[in-house]
């Protein structure tokens, strides 16, 4: 794609953005609970539109070259990503579950399931490539120093004669096996000839033989023609890939080379722009700075004189927190400025009084009985979207685009250089701000001198922002005491690597977690059946809760704060794979606080506190970071089993809870727990630490079909028509992705690879391997579901469903009474 194509994509994205901003305001109006489905539909539609917008802005930011445009697109990209996360939070509050059935919304908007995929911005890894490389080198260096010399394998030497004898044995054995196979084929042929001679061969006339040959040949031709027509038809409707894969791959490789070339141009233009920014700032400060300074001084002195003439005294100089002399430079009279300052002080006092009154009201309301609260909830059962932090930033970016770039003629800068006039305007504001701060200090001193000389008045207290009244400080958290103030980050990092608490994560892409979406979710919901999340839903939730938040500090600051997630599902569902994928997609460091990994490390009560402190300190300093706890239920055991008493799994429970509470917006640290037996844990403590709980049930038919197909293709084999993948997907009901991968790897050995040309794969070959594995039985899955519905979100979901059933039963009862 050319620069003009990306420019047009940017323009169309802003047209869509304008439509979405117009739809945002009606969402803020409260909606009664009886219109919940309509409210969910509106939220789902807005969510899908923002996902598409995020995908487009990511493409534009990745390939646009002009540096000033890229800065604006980056702000819009982060703001739209933050809005996607806000809408996800709203959907969870509205639907009371983590997975959302948006198939009807997709159908109405004429979108495909691919549009549900959460795009991961490419700059997450591109901008952190240098830091990731340095951390990998540091980790590899520490691990190489830890490797003992004795662990290196030392091979004993062999005499030449012994080596020759060994090779001769292997070669004679190979020739013997070939000779035996050859003799077996000869015997088989001789046996077939003997049977033919004994049975006697049927003799045909010349005409009968010709007819028989014609039948066979015509049948072969027709079967081949039918097979070709079927292949062409399937390719035409998109059910089979086209045969010209080589041409397709060459086009893709050429496009990738073009994208890489554009990224190199981006780097060059960015370096030029950085140098121009410094140069422009210095030149403006040198040429226009003195004039700005004198002009500001004259304006402020004139304001002093006018205020003194009107009021008989010199005014109070505005404090820096109120804007300083910026209030004076606005086009206002001295009286208006003085009135505004006084009004601000009065408004702040009123707000403090209103806050104190509201606090008193809240305390009184808390003391009321539970019955009154229940009545109020029944009356005020409304749905409403919370105010957004991202919409103002999106609106500001959209306004900047409309004012600066929409009607800009692109022919002025065909080489995509920076716009010098726009740069000078931006830097002029920065220089003016810097000079204003300097002028404020000088003029405050001049005002003191004027008061002493003219009014004979001693220094008055400057007009300041009102101080907060002492009282209960809500939401203010105590700072964590640093237990290692004299240690460097490098030494702490090395200590954690030596202790085995920092691990090298395997490279796994999130898209490798294969699964298909749930196509009949809305149908199941209408039939009063609870739809279970598919593997596609799990992948999307991990992308939303972990990857997008950890990838960018700006997105993490704007999005609703989520410090921890818990992955709950049977073994083999890919929980560890998802943890590794989060680290790969964001370039995060992986910390391992699993109870089994902590045995014998940092012993004692103070040791556990020190360990958790060091882990969270290094995680914050080397952001982004993922702290993984495998078998997370062990930290919250109801009763510790005998085999686990030695590791004391509950020793970091309190320190972990305290450390999590200290994480604030902008701290890109995520705690991810994995468990297959959450029933053994105390549910209250577990839900207090893990803010989001993602249930991972067995894969459904659509996900199993995609799993079989993709995993076989990943082994380098293209499935043929003889391999009935649909039958495999039906037979493997109850098996996890780990079971399916294990069966495929067992069947597709090296020997079986060599036989594929003569004997293609069939579905029956995998059944023997599947039968050797234990599936996830329905009782185990039901116990996980029962546990999930005891969590806070699960309880709300069940209560809402029970209320719906009761309302429907009451409605039916009323209709029956009317009929009677």
Cα 352–chain centre separation: 40
Please state, as a whole number, how many other Cβ atoms lie within 10 Å of the Cβ of residue 99. 22
Nearest Cα to Cα of residue 502 among 510, 492, 512: 492
Count of structural domains within the chain: 5
Alpha carbon distance 62, 120 (integer Å)? 12
Q: State the average pLDDT for the chain.
A: 83
Alpha carbon distance 708, 710 (integer Å)? 6
The secondary element (H helix, E strand) that includes residue 565 is strand 564-568
| Cα-based torsion angle of the residue sequence 618, 622, 624, 625 in order, rounded to the nearest 10 degrees | -30
Alpha carbon distance 483, 464 (integer Å)? 38
Nearest Cα to Cα of residue 108 among 13, 51, 23, 44: 44
Q: 197 in a domain, yes or no?
A: no
Alpha carbon distance 814, 808 (integer Å)? 10
Q: Select the more confidently predicted residue: 149 or 39.
A: 39
The yes-or-no verdict on residue 151 having pLDDT over 50 is no
Shared domain check, 521 and 438? no
User: What long-range pairs does 749-757 form, CB within 8 A, spacing at least 24?
Assistant: 753/716, 753/717, 756/717
What are the tens digits of pLDDT across the range 338-378? Answer: 565 566 667 667 777 776 766 666 666 555 554 444 444 44
The two structure tokens encoding residue 533: 């999340």
Question: What's the pLDDT score for residue 89?
Answer: 92
> What pLDDT band is residue 738 in, cutting at 50, 70 and 90?
very high
Q: Check: CB of residue 506 under 8 Å from CB of residue 580.
A: yes
Nearest Cα to Cα of residue 60 among 14, 7, 123, 24: 7
Domain holding 715: CATH number? 1.10.8
Nearest Cα to Cα of residue 86 among 137, 22, 43: 43
Q: Which residues of 782-815 are buried (b: 16+ CB within 10 A; e: fewer)?
A: eebeebbeebebbeebeeeeeeeeeeeeeeeeee
Question: What's the pLDDT score for residue 475?
Answer: 45
Range of the domain at 75: 3-120
Residue 78's Cβ-count burial label (10 Å; 0-12, 13-18, 19+) is: buried
Shared domain check, 654 and 616? yes
Q: Which residues of 626-639 are buried (b: 16+ CB within 10 A; e: fewer)?
A: bbbbbbbbbbbbee
What are the tens digits of pLDDT across the range 201-211? Answer: 556 788 888 99
Alpha carbon distance 604, 159 (integer Å)? 56
Alpha carbon distance 746, 752 (integer Å)? 10
Nearest Cα to Cα of residue 561 among 650, 691, 673, 678: 691
The yes-or-no verdict on residue 674 having pLDDT over 90 is yes
Per-position DSSP letters for 392-412, written without gaps between them: HHHHHHHHHIIIIITT--GGG
Those residues with Cβ within 8 angstroms of residue 502's Cβ, 6 or more apart along the chain or in another chain:
139, 493, 496, 589, 590, 591, 592, 618
What backbone torsions phi and psi does residue 670 show, to the nearest 5 degrees? -125, 130
The two structure tokens encoding residue 454: 């003219």
Q: Check: CB of residue 440 under 8 Å from CB of residue 327.
A: no
The two structure tokens encoding residue 167: 């090779």
Q: 235 in a domain, yes or no?
A: no
The answer to which of 342-351, 451-460, 472-481, 790-799 has the lowest mean pLDDT is: 472-481
The yes-or-no verdict on residue 74 having pLDDT over 80 is yes
Shared domain check, 64 and 17? yes
Cα 127–chain centre separation: 17
Per-position DSSP letters for 143-194, written without gaps between them: HHHHS-GGGS--PPP--HHHHHHHHHHHHHHHHHHHHHHHHHHHHHHHHHHH
Domain boundary among 101, 120, 139: 120
Q: 209 in a domain, yes or no?
A: no
| 21 bridge partner residues | none
Pairing of the two strands 625-630 and 669-675: parallel
What are the tens digits of pLDDT across the range 429-457? Answer: 888 888 888 888 888 888 888 777 776 65
Q: 89 in a domain, yes or no?
A: yes
Alpha carbon distance 141, 144 (integer Å)? 5
Domain boundary among 662, 695, 728: 695
Shared domain check, 529 and 622? yes
Question: What's the pLDDT score for residue 314?
Answer: 76
Alpha carbon distance 763, 729 (integer Å)? 10
Q: 520 in a domain, yes or no?
A: yes
Pairing of the two strands 564-568 and 692-695: parallel
Shared domain check, 661 and 571? yes
Cα 145–chain centre separation: 35
What backbone torsions phi and psi does residue 790 show, to the nearest 5 degrees? -100, -5
Shared domain check, 791 and 767? no
Give me the percent of the chain exceeding a pLDDT of 70.
Answer: 85
Shared domain check, 568 and 680? yes
Q: 392 in a domain, yes or no?
A: no
Question: What's the pLDDT score for residue 363?
Answer: 62
The secondary element (H helix, E strand) that includes residue 88 is helix 67-95
Question: What's the pLDDT score for residue 615?
Answer: 92
> What pLDDT band is residue 327 in, cutting at 50, 70 and 90?
low
The yes-or-no verdict on residue 722 having pLDDT over 80 is yes
The yes-or-no verdict on residue 469 having pLDDT over 60 is no
Q: 354 in a domain, yes or no?
A: no
The secondary element (H helix, E strand) that includes residue 614 is helix 605-621
Q: Check: CB of residue 505 under 8 Å from CB of residue 511.
A: no
Shared domain check, 47 and 20? yes
What are the tens digits of pLDDT across the range 683-702? Answer: 998 999 999 999 999 899 99
Question: What's the pLDDT score for residue 371?
Answer: 45
Shared domain check, 691 and 705? no
The end-to-end CA distance of the chain, in Å, is 71
> What pLDDT band is residue 197 in, cutting at 50, 70 and 90?
confident
What are the tens digits of pLDDT across the range 538-575? Answer: 999 999 999 999 999 999 999 999 999 999 999 999 99
Q: Check: CB of residue 471 under 8 Å from CB of residue 355.
A: no
Alpha carbon distance 672, 688 (integer Å)? 14
Domain holding 508: CATH number? 3.40.50.300
> What pLDDT band is residue 290 in, cutting at 50, 70 and 90?
confident
3-state secondary structure of 651: coil
Shared domain check, 708 and 686? no
Shared domain check, 718 and 643? no
3-state secondary structure of 564: strand
The yes-or-no verdict on residue 395 having pLDDT over 60 is yes
Q: 146 in a domain, yes or no?
A: no
DSSP 235: H
Nearest Cα to Cα of residue 557 among 668, 433, 440, 683: 668
Q: Check: CB of residue 325 under 8 Å from CB of residue 436.
A: yes
What are the tens digits of pLDDT across the range 44-62? Answer: 999 999 999 999 999 999 8
Peptide bond into 34 cis (omega under 30): no
Those residues with Cβ within 8 angstroms of residue 6's Cβ, 6 or more apart along the chain or in another chain:
59, 60, 63, 64
Residues in the chain: 820
Shared domain check, 798 and 768? no
């Amino acid at each position: 794609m050319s620069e003009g194509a990306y420019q047009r994509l940017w323009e169309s994205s802003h047209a869509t953005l304008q439509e979405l901003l117009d739809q945002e305001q009606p969402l803020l109006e409260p909606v009664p609970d009886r219109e919940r489905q309509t409210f969910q539909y509106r939220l789902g539609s807005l969510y899908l539109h923002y996902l598409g917008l995020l995908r487009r802005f990511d493409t534009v930011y990745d390939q646009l070259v002009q540096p000033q445009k890229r800065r604006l697109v980056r702000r819009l990209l982060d703001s739209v990503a933050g809005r996607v996360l806000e809408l996800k939070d709203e959907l969870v509050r509205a639907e009371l579950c983590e997975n959302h059935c948006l198939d009807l919304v997709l159908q109405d908007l004429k979108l495909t399931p691919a549009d549900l995929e959460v795009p991961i911005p490419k700059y997450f890894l591109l901008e952190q490539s240098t830091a990731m490389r340095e951390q990998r080198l540091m980790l590899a260096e520490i691990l190489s120093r830890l490797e003992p010399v004795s662990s290196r394998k030392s091979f004993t030497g062999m005499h030449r004669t012994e080596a020759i004898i060994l090779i001769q044995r292997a070669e004679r054995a190979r020739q013997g096996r070939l000779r035996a196979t050859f003799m077996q084929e000869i015997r088989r042929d001789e046996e077939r000839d003997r049977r033919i001679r004994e049975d006697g061969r049927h003799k045909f006339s010349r005409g009968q033989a010709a007819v028989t040959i014609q039948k066979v040949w015509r049948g072969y031709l027709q079967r081949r023609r039918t097979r070709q027509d079927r292949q062409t038809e399937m390719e035409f409707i998109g059910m089979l890939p086209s045969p010209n894969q080589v041409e397709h791959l060459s086009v893709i490789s050429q496009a990738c080379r073009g994208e890489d070339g554009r990224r190199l141009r981006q780097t060059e233009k960015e370096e030029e722009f950085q140098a121009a920014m410094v140069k422009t700032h210095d030149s403006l400060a040198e040429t226009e700075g003195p004039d700005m300074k004198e002009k500001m001084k004259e304006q402020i002195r004139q304001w002093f004189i006018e205020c003194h003439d009107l009021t008989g005294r010199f005014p109070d100089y505005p404090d820096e927190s109120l804007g300083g002399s910026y209030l004076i430079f606005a086009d206002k009279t001295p009286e208006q400025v003085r009135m505004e300052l006084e009004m601000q002080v009065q408004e702040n006092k009123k707000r403090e009084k209103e806050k104190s009154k509201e606090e008193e009201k809240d305390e009184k309301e808390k003391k009321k009985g539970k019955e009154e609260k229940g009545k109020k909830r029944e009356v005020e059962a409304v749905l409403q979207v919370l105010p957004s932090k991202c919409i103002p930033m999106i609106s500001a970016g959209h306004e900047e685009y409309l004012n600066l770039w929409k009607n800009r003629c692109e022919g002025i800068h065909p080489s995509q250089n920076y716009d010098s006039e726009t740069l000078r305007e931006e830097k002029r504001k920065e220089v003016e701000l810097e000079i204003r701060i300097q002028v404020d200090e000088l003029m405050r001193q001049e005002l003191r001198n004027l008061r002493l000389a003219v009014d004979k008045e001693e220094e008055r207290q400057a007009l300041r922002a009102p101080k907060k009244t002492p009282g209960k400080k809500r939401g203010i958290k105590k700072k964590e005491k640093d237990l290692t103030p004299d240690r460097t980050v490098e030494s702490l990092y090395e200590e954690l690597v030596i202790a085995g608490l920092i691990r090298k994560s395997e490279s796994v892409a999130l898209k490798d977690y294969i699964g298909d979406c749930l196509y009949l979710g809305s149908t199941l919901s209408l039939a009063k059946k609870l739809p279970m999340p598919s593997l596609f839903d799990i992948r999307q939730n991990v992308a939303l809760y972990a990857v997008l938040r950890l990838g960018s500090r700006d997105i993490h600051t704007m999005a609703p704060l989520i410090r921890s997630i818990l992955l709950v599902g049977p073994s083999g569902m890919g929980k560890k794979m998802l943890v590794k994928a989060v680290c790969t997609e964001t370039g995060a460091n992986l910390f391992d606080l699993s109870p089994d990994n902590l045995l014998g490390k940092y012993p004692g009560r103070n040791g556990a506190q020190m360990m958790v402190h060091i882990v969270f300190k290094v995680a914050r300093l080397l952001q982004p970071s993922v702290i993984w706890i495998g078998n997370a239920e062990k930290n919250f055991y109801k009763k510790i089993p005998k085999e686990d008493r030695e590791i004391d799994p509950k020793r970091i429970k309190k320190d972990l809870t305290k450390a999590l509470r200290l994480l604030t917006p902008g701290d890109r640290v995520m705690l991810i727990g994995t468990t297959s037996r959450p029933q053994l844990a105390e549910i209250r403590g577990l839900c207090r630490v893990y803010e989001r709980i993602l249930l991972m049930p067995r894969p459904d038919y659509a996900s199993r079909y995609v799993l079989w197909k993709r995993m076989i293709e990943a082994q380098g084999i293209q499935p043929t028509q003889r391999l009935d993948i649909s039958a495999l997907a039906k037979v493997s009901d109850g098996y996890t992705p780990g079971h399916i991968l294990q069966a495929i790897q067992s069947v597709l050995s090296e020997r079986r690879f060599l036989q594929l040309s003569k004997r293609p794969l069939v579905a029956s070959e995998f059944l023997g391997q599947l039968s050797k594995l234990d599936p996830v039985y329905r009782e185990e899955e039901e116990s996980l579901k029962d546990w999930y519905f005891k969590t806070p979100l699960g309880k709300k979901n069940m209560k809402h469903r029970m209320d719906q059933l009761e309302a429907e039963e009451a409605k039916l009862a009323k209709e029956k009474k009317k009929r009677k």
